[in-house]
Amino acid sequence: MALTFFKLPKHKRYNYKPVYWDKAKEEREKRMKAAVEENHEDYASALRDRLEMRWKRNTTAASRKNANMRLVVILFVIFMVVYFLFFSNGTNIWEYFLTTP
């Protein structure tokens, strides 16, 4: 039998289970349930609307990608023009401005 002067507390145990809430999944299941309960025509229209929404999202992403690529090309062209104006071996823009009266 061990003799102790201080009583050490036991560790506490919790039954915590994290909950993940997927709002999009919940809305999707709600729409599907409502479409199936009403009738077949509403289900088809709901499916069509969902496909149209996905298509719009994909075209938006594609247009954003095209806009970003266009911006990169424009910045590259501007950089090259500035480089050739300032660092070309022929005429230097600074010499032009400094020598003209």
For the stretch 9-58, pLDDT in tens is 888 888 888 788 888 888 888 877 776 776 666 667 777 887 788 877 77
Contact 54, 69 (CB under 8 A): no
Residue 34 lies in a domain: yes
Contact 95, 87 (CB under 8 A): no
Q: What is the mean pLDDT of residues 58-65?
A: 78
Domain range holding 66? 23-99
Residue 51 lies in a domain: yes
Give the C-alpha separation, 38 to 82, whole Å: 65
The pLDDT confidence band at residue 76, using thresholds 50, 70 and 90, is very high
Tell me, what's the pLDDT at 69? Answer: 92
Give the C-alpha separation, 65 to 47, whole Å: 27
In the chain, the percentage of residues whose pLDDT exceeds 70 is: 76
The full 3-state SS of the chain, as one line of letters, equals: CCCCCCCCCCCCCCCCCCCCCCHHHHHHHHHHHHHHHHCHHHHHHHHHHHHHHHHHHHHHHHHHHHHHHHHHHHHHHHHHHHHHHHHCCCCCHHHHHHHCC
Residue 17 lies in a domain: no
In the chain, how many domains are there? 1
The pTM of the full predicted model, rounded to 2 decimals, is: 0.37
Residue 63 lies in a domain: yes
Q: Which residue has the higher pLDDT, 18 or 98?
A: 18
Residue 86 lies in a domain: yes
Backbone angles phi, psi at 45, to 5 degrees: -70, -35
